[in-house]
Each structure stands twice: as C-alpha cells, then as structure tokens.
Amino acid sequence: MMFSAVLFVVLSYLSIVTSDLHTLFPIDIGLSDENPFVPLERDTFDDCHLRYMRYGRDEVKIPDPLKPYDESRDYSHIAVIGRARESGTVDWTCMGALIWDTFVLTSAHCTTGEGANAPNVVRLGGPKYVQQRSVKEIIRHPEFSPSNGQNDIALIQLDSRITINETVVPTCLWLWEEVPFPKLDTLLRTTAGRDQQTSKFETEEMRSLNIDDEDCFSTETQLCMESMELDTNKCTETPEGNPLQVRLLHNFKTSPFLVGILSTSFKSGTCNPRRGYTKIAHYREWLIGVMQERNVSAIPQAFFPMVCAHRFAQFRPRVEDLMVERNGEIPVNNVQVEDISNRYLNYIVRFEWPSESKNESQPNCAGTFVDQQTILTLASCVVPAASDGSRPTAAIHVTLYSNQSFPIQSITVHPGYVKGSHKNNIAVVKLKARQDVVPACIWPYVDLPDERVDMVGVGMSGLNYFQENYIFHSERAHDVFVQHAMDYYPWEKCGGELAELSDNRSLTMYNENEHLCFRSDQWIVPGVCRDIPGGPVQRYINRAGAYFKYVYALTVVGRTCGHGQPTVAIQLAPHVAWLQSVILNKHSSAAGDRSESVIIINPDLKRSDECNNGDGTLGICVPHELCLSTAERLRKGERVTVCTEGSIVCCPWGDIAKNSAIDPIRTELDSCEDRYRSIRRERYAGADQDESLYTNLPHVAEIGWPQNGGRINFECLGHLITSKVIITSARCMETFPHKPTVAKIGSVQASDASNFVVQPIRRVRMHEDYDPLTGVNNIALVVLTAPIDINVFHFPGCLFQNNTHIPARLFTINENRGTTNVGKLAPAYISDCKEYLTEALAPGQMCLRKPRPEGAFSVSNSCLKTGDPIIWENRTEVMDIFDATHLVGIFSHGGCELDNAQIATRISFYYDWIVRNAK
C-alpha cells in the first residue's frame, strides 16, 4: 500500500504544460509537384495548403547518423553469478539482474549452498568493459521453500558499488500486481558459462498462461509462461535465476523492466516450454525493506517506473528505427525542447469552463485549430454535463512561460451526436477573433495516405525527448502534450480488443465506417503517454513543395496512446460535408467539395454568340485558346459551357484575349512559353556543363538614373517582357525628379559582364491613373531605344494572364546593398488580408505575405522595394529545359516586418493596358 500511496502523490503533483514535439518525417504522396493557384477569395474547403502556404515547412533537416555504441546496451543489467574455486576457476552457474548499484536480484535456488559451494562472485558488463564484484551477503526470502519453489527469490549484496555506465546499468522493476503484457522476454545465456571474461545472451519470447500443473502454476506470487519460439538445439544449460522482463519505450529508448525470476522449471531445463517465474511485484516491500535495513537509500519512489526510466535514460539503448524516421526533429537540450514546443504545439488547446461550472471531466480534453479561428474537438468535450447547461468559455494554450486564452464565440455540436455515444462525436468551436497560430489541415479523404501517424497525448516531459549522454533532471517532470508515432490497426483486429478498455461499455459505440483504430506492439513506461480525448491524429504531407500537417481523426478513447492497447479515434472524412457547412457557413450535399467539372454543350450557340455559363457570368463564344480562364474553371470543377463546335467555349467578357490573332504585341506575349523554349533548352544544357556561367537572372532588369560626375545609380528592378519593354512600378519612376536613361538586362547575379546587356531607355509610360498616395495603378512600362539581342543570358520572361487566380508558389527578387535575395511570398485571400490593411485593396492589387515556416527558429527577412518582380515558375514535366518564368506582380508597398501585408500590382489585371502601351 505504501507504494501505491506515494505514486498517487507524485502523479497528483504533475501539471499540464506544453513541451517537446517530435514528428514523423513528412510523406510524399504525389502532391509535392502540385502547381496550385489561389483564388482572390475562398471558394473551396480543401484549401488549407493554399491559405496557409506561408507557414509550410520547406525543408527537413536530417542530421548525421548517430554513432553506434561501442558495446551493446541490451544486456547491461544482466549479472552472471558464480562460485569461485580454490583453483582460481569460476563456475558461472546462474543469472540475476542488477537492481541497485550494490544489489543483484536472483532466485533463492541460485544462492543455495554453504561455504565454497555458495555463490561468491558476480560479473556484469562485457565483453569490453567487465566489472566483477565479490558477494558480501546473500539474503533469501525467509519463507523460501526449496521443495516446491515457493517464494523463490533472493538478494545478493555486493562488497562494493558497481560503476554505473553505458554497459552496466540497474534494471527497472515492474512493481504492479497487474501484468498487462501478453508477451514477455526471458533471458538466456548462449555460452554455458565457463569463460572467465564473457557471457553472450539472447532473448526468448514467452507468453503468459493461466494454468496449474506440476511444472508450472500461476498464483499471486508466480507467473506461468510458455515459450513461443523454443529452439531445442539451444537448450544446453540448466538455467537458474533467469530474468523475465519487458522492454518499455521512453525517450526514444527502451528500459528493461524486471517482471519475474525463473523459479520452478529448472528441473526440466530450458527444453521445457513451460516455466514458472517468481513474480517481483508481490515482493516489492520485502525487497525495499531489505535494502533499507542495510542503510541503502532505496526509497519506494526510486523504483517507480517513470522515476527509474528517467534516472537511467542516458544509458539505455536507442530504438534505431524510431530514431531514423523521426530524427529530423530531435532536440539536443532543454532550451530547444521548450522552444520547439512553443513553435509547434500552439495549435493544440484545452478548454476553460466557467468557474461555477460542475463539469469536472471536460477540461481534460484537447482541441485542434483547423483554421486560425476554428477549433475541432469532440462533442463530448463541450456538451454540458451539469444541469446548469454551461459550456466552455475559452480555449487555452498553456506553456511554461505564459497562458493564452482565446474567447469562444460559438460551439456547434454535430446534430447526430447522442450524449454518451461516440457516434458523430464531433464539434466545431469558433473563436471571437483570428489567432496567430499555424493550424492543422483537415484530411477530407477516407483513405489514409500512410499507416504511420503522429498521435497527440499527454505525458511526462522528461520521458519524451531524446538526449544522448545527458543527465535528466527531476525538475523537468511536467505533464505535457506529447506526440507519438503510431500504426493504423485494422478494425477486424481492433474490435476484439476494445472490450478490454475500462471505459468501453459496448462495441455498438463504435463503427468501422466512422472510427479508426491505432496500435503498436511496443509498450511504454507508465507516464510516457496517455490518450487525451480530442487529441489530433495526423501526419505532415508534402503539398506543392512544402510540408503541412493534416489531421485525420480525433482521439475518442484509449489508455496508452496506442502502445500495447488500441486507441480509437473518430475520423474527420465522413463528416466533411457537415464540417464544410459549419465552417464555411454554407450547406453541401456532397461528401466533400471536390467535384468534377460540369461541361454543358449548348447546340443553339455558335461562335460570337452571347452566352451564359449558368453561374451568372456573361460572355461570348470564342475559341478555347482565346479564353484565359477555361483551364482554371476546369481545374476548379466549375461549370463550362461548350458552344456548338467542340473547340468553342463560353468565355466571360473579361477573360477574352482580345485581338490576339492580329496584335503583334499580344501575339508575342501570348506565345512567350513556346517562343523562348529553345533558348531555355540551350541555357539548361549549358548550365549542365558549367553551372557557374549561368547564375544570372535573364529576365530581370536594373533601371538606372544619371548622377553628377557621370555616375549611374541603378535603384530599381524591372522585368523584361519583350525584346524592348520592361515592366516596373510607377513609384519606382519617381525615385529621382528626372527620368531613368539606361537599363541593364541580365546583370543581376551575372558571373561576367559579357552575360548582360546595357541599353538606353527611349521612354517611360506610367499608368495614367496612378495614385502616389494609395499606390493604386502602380505600374509603368520602360521602353528601350532598340530591341536587345536575344541569347541564353538575357531574354524576355512571360506574363501571368489569369485574372481570377494567383499561383500559390511565388518568389520575389530583391536587391539590397549589392546583395540579391530571392525569397518566397504567399498570396492571401482579400478577406484574410483586410485586418492587416488600413485601406481596402483596389481591383488591380493583390495581397501577399512573407513566409514564416512552421517551427523555423529564425526566418530571413528583407525589405522589399517598389518595382521588385514577383514571379512564378510554371512547372512542367519536360525535364530537359528550365521552367518558364511568369511575372505575376510588381511589388508596390508594404512594411518590412514578417507579418506586414505586402501589396503588389497584379499584372493580369493590367494585361490589356500593357498590350496597348508596349508598342
């Protein structure tokens, strides 16, 4: 009883705070090469990776492999017990386990004999680092019965302390009466034991039996085990004191936990598949009492599983497979642990209830941000349990340093949820304001992209991060959110185990169409992880070249985060239609919002007829190649009307490529990708031979103004769009009172002066409605005196012409004090951008955000300058050429900070103006 009482006190002391997070490596399921586009306003549910592109992790840092151990750590606790003879030889007759630095636990049978026949020497470690000690005292259990093996347990006190290091470490003890492990390992020697320096060990897997026969019987003091892999060729010794153990996971390592000591089956040797083991837990008070009587500081708390695992973690063997798949996020010190938790885990929250509420159980739930104002959780976590009808008032995120509270605006519970059931057990919590968090994305598909997942639970901080050869401190014993790698478990196997869960009343609470099961054969140290209702089950997925976390399900019930026992979670995919209706405030009749395009053939229409796509857009029937938005409408699954002829489509008036058949400027701009394909191919081939010669940016121009003394200041950048026309900003043209006179094309990052061309400027055309105060219509054309010579070092780039969408992957080119920066930018919905702006966006403007990758310790940041090009590379499947670069925008204005909105002039909006004025 003393053990249980102290354990309760320790557990009650722990408090919830956030801590470390280790994630599985992101998976690539064929979406990394996506070339996505973002609409000006949100029009789809599955847009998380587009909406939050700025947070996408763009790389995974994989450190060098850890050095292998000099000597195996798997058997560092195993002692070989011997009887030294006068001749100097030692008969190593039996085994035991080191449980303290001066005590070895073995069977009482092992210690029988008097004088020279009694054990007098113990050996541990090896083969390289061997420690040998003499026996000071043998203490058998006072009620040991040699005739029937009852109370077959003994302690051997050593004459001096063992030096604890990587090769000799005490085992932990399993001191609970319940032994939940269906499989255990017994340890055997492969070498009989006459060697003075080494003993080789191996494990044999055993399963427990509930039987009673002459060789093996199960009682409260003994365990009956049966070998699952008996090899009769190896049963050459008569074992005594062989440990029965289980290896439990913590800190990306495993610690041995001694469950029993071989007792009765020594009569038949290891060839007997059934063997009896003395159960350690039954003798815990006797063991601790014996050591304390001998002035050893072996208090009960020192043997708690979490305390023992924590104390010796730096010496335990790594789980190499787990390290390999999660090594990219392993921190190396406490500062990094806490920093990572604050950057990664702030999307997981708990709920705050009114102080007068009697809902004691709900605060143990978790919720997950799925956008910056919406949290998903279980319905059972937010429905009132008390008669007062109270509900949570805020979502809270707790760290070691501060608590954040987010007031709740509304809670919507699934209409099909019935209190006390796990069917439709899901709820949407909307906050009063948007929060600066990186949310998880909702995985809308029934099939999981991979069977390995990250499962969030709660556990002790000190047992969940990896540090090699570092002393763990007890003050790190916080109860925290943790994340464990776990395996999908087929429902047909899971169903048979669910009845063992204490809070499972009926299997009718679950169904395979709505719930998922997760389980691993690897058990954990108690305290490492326990399930928290509502905790996300997720995985990082590579989409469009960046990694985003996708939540598949929310934990419903479980004990150990799937380790050894199944955890059940409610899948989000079956509820996507309902989630969409609540989160987007609109109804959907489909299981999701992704659908095939609807193509309508109207036989009454012909070329040049006025038409309607059925969605309110009026237009005219034109050849499909003249309609700039057809490809986008098909990609989005929108309705497209085909006129009588198959190549004629109904095109909205604003999306028609006007006069493209006859206007030479329009023709040149429209044919950009094909026109310069051979140049790009030649450039690619040259770079393949010597990349250092092709470092320049061939479409980028530097625009210069004459200064006193004959100097020229190149203050602004522009983008070459034809052989003699450069696009830049109107504000750029106001850099000096006088106009620019010269431009350098291809000079940025050029390795040699021969790689660029300098050309005089003939005229500058600023937009006639440019407003220098607001930046509206901030666009200008710089026309050269003559066309440049086209070659692999300087040739025109293309213009992005879609007027309804913006590429999700954008780059900006910026020069600052002689340094060229190519940085990422992410487009934002107009509505999302409003809160960062003092004035509304004009029709020809777009809102962009600087990248802030999730988890990045520091982010490089440079102030953009007006006129800086914003480009997009049109990724193709043609591998022998460079992708065509399209000018999407010209930077107009915006603050330098990472969270400032960046306003740019949207090129597609001014396409017709460019065509008219580029002559």
| b (16+ CB within 10 A) / e for 447-460 | ebbeebbbbbbbbb
Sign of the alpha-carbon torsion through 729, 735, 741, 747: negative
pLDDT of residue 279: 95
Q: Maximum CA pair distance of the chain? A: 113
What pTM value is reported for the model?
Answer: 0.85
- Amino acid 14: pLDDT: 28
pLDDT at 587: 46
Give the residues across from 368 on adjacent strands. 348, 376
Give me the mean pLDDT over the 491-500 stretch. 80
CA 401, CA 316: separation in Å to the nearest integer? 31
Pick 234 or 419 by higher pLDDT: 419
* Residue whose token pair is 């916080």: 478
- pLDDT greater at residue 189 or residue 197: 189
The pLDDT score that the predictor gives to residue 334 is 52
Distance, CA of 274 to CA of 271 (rounded, Å): 9
**pLDDT 10s digits, 148-172:** 888 999 999 999 999 999 999 999 9
- Please determine, for residue 659, whether its predicted confidence score (pLDDT) is greater than 60: no
Yes or no: say if 340 and 20 are a contact pair by the CB < 8 Å rule.
Answer: yes
pLDDT at 66 over 60: yes
Mean pLDDT of the region 419-446: 94
Span 287-305, average pLDDT: 91
The sign of the torsion formed by the CA atoms of 678, 681, 686, 687 equals positive
What CA–CA distances, in Å, run from 36 to 205, 504, 729, 763?
Answer: 52, 44, 26, 37
Residue 574 has pLDDT above 50, yes or no: yes
Residue 502 corresponds to which tokens in the numbers above? 């204490």
Query: What integer pLDDT is reported at residue 64 of this predicted model?
Result: 74
pLDDT at position 243 is: 96
DSSP annotation string for 849-909: E----TT-S--------TT-EEEEEE--S-TTSPPEEEEEEEEEEE-SSTTS-EEEEEGGG
Q: Name the most confidently modeled range: 201-205, 768-772, 802-806.
A: 768-772
Q: What is the pLDDT of residue 361?
A: 46
Contact 537, 556 (CB under 8 A): no
The dihedral over CA atoms of 535, 325, 336, 468, expressed in degrees to the nearest 10, equals 120
The 10 Å CB-count burial string (b at 16+, else e) for 550-583 is bbbbbbbbbbbbbbbbbbbbbbbbbbbbbbbbbb
pLDDT at site 197: 60
Give the amino acid at 62: I
- 9: helix, strand or coil: helix
Q: What is the pLDDT of residue 482?
A: 87
Please check the confidence at residue 599 and state whether its pLDDT lies above 70. Answer: yes
Question: What's the pLDDT band for 751 if we cut at 50, 70, 90?
Answer: confident
The domains located in the chain, with CATH, are 78-315 (2.40.10.10), 327-584 (2.40.10.10), 599-652 (no CATH), 661-918 (2.40.10.10)
Instruction: Give the highest mean pLDDT range of 273-287, 467-481, 854-868.
Output: 273-287
The set of residues, in sequence order, having a beta carbon less than 8 Å from that of 877 and lying 6+ positions away, is none
DSSP string, 709-768: GG-EEEEEEEEE-SSSEEEE-TGGGGSSSSPP-EEEES-TT-SSGGG-EEEEEEEEEE-T
Identify the band that residue 107 occupies on the pLDDT scale cut at 50, 70 and 90: very high
Mean pLDDT of the chain: 85
Which of 329, 455, 368, 352 has its CA nearest to residue 404? 352
For residue 127, whether the previous peptide bond is cis, meaning omega lies within 30 degrees of 0, is yes
To the nearest whole percent, how much of the chain has pLDDT over 90?
Answer: 51
- Please write the tens of the pLDDT for every residue from 721-745: 999 999 999 999 999 999 999 999 9
In 3-state terms, what secondary structure has residue 659?
Answer: coil
pLDDT (average), residues 562-573? 96
**588 has pLDDT over 50:** no
Bin 809: left if φ > 0, else alpha if -120 < ψ < 50, else beta: beta
Q: What percent of the chain has pLDDT over 70?
A: 85
Rounded Cα gap, residues 538 and 523, in angstroms? 21
Checking if the pLDDT of 101 tops 80, the result is: yes
Candidate from 29-43, 214-228, 276-290 with smallest mean pLDDT = 214-228
What per-residue confidence (pLDDT) applies to 870?
A: 97
Task: Answer yes or no: are the C-beta atoms of 595 and 588 closer than 8 Å.
Answer: no
Rounded to whole angstroms, how far apart are CA atoms 210 and 182?
12
Residue 62 pLDDT exceeds 80 = no
473 pLDDT more than 80: no
Q: pLDDT at position 136, please?
A: 96
Mean pLDDT of 72-88: 90
Q: What angle do CA 493, 497, 500 make, to 5 degrees?
A: 175
Backbone angles phi, psi at 332, to 5 degrees: -120, -10
3-state secondary structure 791-823: ECCECCCEECCCCCEEECCEEEEEEECCEEEEE
Those residues with Cβ within 8 angstroms of residue 425's Cβ, 6 or more apart along the chain or in another chain? 378, 379, 380, 414, 417, 556, 570
The mean pLDDT of 377-388, rounded to a whole number, is: 83
Q: Where are the alpha helices (DSSP H) in 294-420?
A: 305-311, 320-326, 334-344, 379-382
Position 268 pLDDT exceeds 60? no
**What are the residue ranges of helices labelled H in 548-676?**
576-583, 630-636, 664-670, 672-675
What are the pLDDT digits (tens) for 836-850? 888 889 999 999 999
Residue 472 has what pLDDT? Answer: 52
What string of H, E and C letters represents the secondary structure of 419-463?
A: CCCCCCCCEEEEECCCCCCCCCEECCCCCCCCCEEEEEEEEEHHH
For residue 300, pLDDT over 60 is answered with yes
Measured CA to CA, the distance from residue 88 to residue 513 in angstroms comes to 70
Residue 655 pLDDT: 79
**Of 344 and 248, more confident:** 248
Q: What is the pLDDT of residue 476?
A: 53
